[in-house]
Amino acid sequence: MITLFGSWMKNIALFVILSSFVEMLMPEKNYKKYIHMMQGLILILIIIKPITGLFFSNQKLEDLIELNQLEMERRDILTQGSMIATQQDALIIETYKGKISEQIAKLIENNSDYKAKNIEVFVSEDRDDEDYGNIKEIRLTIDNKNTNSKNKRIKPINPVKINTKKENKENTKSSLEDTQLEKNIKNLIINFYNLSSDNIHITVQKKS
C-alpha cells in the first residue's frame, strides 16, 4: 500500500514538472488556456487512477470479460436447445397424426365394407395448452373397398333410354344411402375417439 502511494505521488510530481516545462516552451499565450485544460484532465486521471484500480483491477476486469463470454455462450446454448426442442415437437406431432390416420383407416375397414382415404388429422400442438395432443378435427373420404380398376370389366353399350322419374328416385336413394353411411362412420369414430360430430367431416366418394 505504501509503495502504491509513493508511486502515485511520484507520478503527480513528474506530471507537474513536465507541465511547467511544456508551458515555458509555449511562446503563444493564446494556447495556454487549452494546455491548462488538458493538463487538468490528465492530472485528474492520474489522481483517480489508484481509486479505480481498487475497484477494477486487471484480474477483476478479466473475470468480468470471462463472465460476459460465459453468459453469451449460455444464451446461445439455450437458443439452440429451444430450436431443437421445437423441431422435435414438430416431428413428434407429425408422427402422432400419422399413427392416428392409420388407426382410423383400420377402424373403418375392419368395421364396414368401406375404406377411408385422404385422411387429415388436426390436433392441438401448443405445449402450454391443457388439451395438447388432443384431436381437434378429422377429415376423410369414404370409398368402396372393391374399387380396383383391374377388377372392372367394360360392358357393351346399350341404347340409352331417358327416364327422368326413375333417375330422380335413384339419385334420392343414393343420397339417402350416402347420408346414412356418413352417419354410421361418424358414430364409429365418435365412439372410438370420444369426439363431437361437428369435428368430423366425411365425404362419400361418388360411384363411377
68 belongs to a structural domain: yes
**CA angle (9 as vertex; 5, 13 as ends), nearest 5:** 170
**What is the pLDDT confidence band of residue 141, given thresholds at 50, 70 and 90?**
very high
Nearest to 134 by CA among 98, 95, 105, 93: 93
Task: Give the three cell numbers for residue 136.
Answer: 381437434
6 belongs to a structural domain: no
| Stretch among 22-26, 56-60, 153-157, 167-171 having the lowest mean pLDDT | 153-157
15 belongs to a structural domain: no
Confidence at residue 123, expressed as pLDDT on a 0 to 100 scale: 93
Q: What is the CATH number of the domain that holds 68?
A: 3.30.300
Based on its alpha-carbon atoms, the radius of gyration of the chain, rounded to whole angstroms, reads 43
Q: Which residue is it, cell 494556447?
A: 31
Domain that holds residue 206: 63-149+176-208
Distance CA 57, CA 50 (A): 10
- The share of the chain scoring above pLDDT 90, in percent, equals 21
Q: Which residue has the higher pLDDT, 130 or 35?
A: 130
Determine the average pLDDT of the residues in 103-120. 91
Give the residue ranges of DSSP H helices in 56-126.
58-111
Confidence at residue 206, expressed as pLDDT on a 0 to 100 scale: 73
27 belongs to a structural domain: no
Please give the model's pTM, rounded to 2 decimal places. Answer: 0.52
Sequence letter at residue 29: K
- The gap from C-alpha 88 to its chain's centroid, in whole angstroms, comes to 10
**Does residue 4 surpass a pLDDT of 50?**
yes
104 belongs to a structural domain: yes
79 belongs to a structural domain: yes
Per-residue H/E/C for 110-124: HHCCEEEEEEEEEEC
Confidence at residue 60, expressed as pLDDT on a 0 to 100 scale: 58
pLDDT digits (tens, 9 = 90+) for 48-93: 766 655 555 555 556 666 777 777 777 777 777 777 778 888 888 9
Q: Which H or E element spans position 129? A: none
**Does residue 101 surpass a pLDDT of 90?**
yes
CB burial class (10 A; 0-12, 13-18, 19+) of residue 185?
buried
Confidence at residue 82, expressed as pLDDT on a 0 to 100 scale: 75
Number of independent structural domains in the chain: 1
Give the other-Cβ count within 10 Å of 116's Cβ: 21
Determine the average pLDDT of the residues in 18-31. 69
Confidence at residue 200, expressed as pLDDT on a 0 to 100 scale: 93
18 belongs to a structural domain: no
Confidence at residue 116, expressed as pLDDT on a 0 to 100 scale: 92
| Stretch among 37-41, 119-123, 125-129, 151-155 having the lowest mean pLDDT | 151-155
Distance CA 177, CA 184 (A): 10
200 belongs to a structural domain: yes
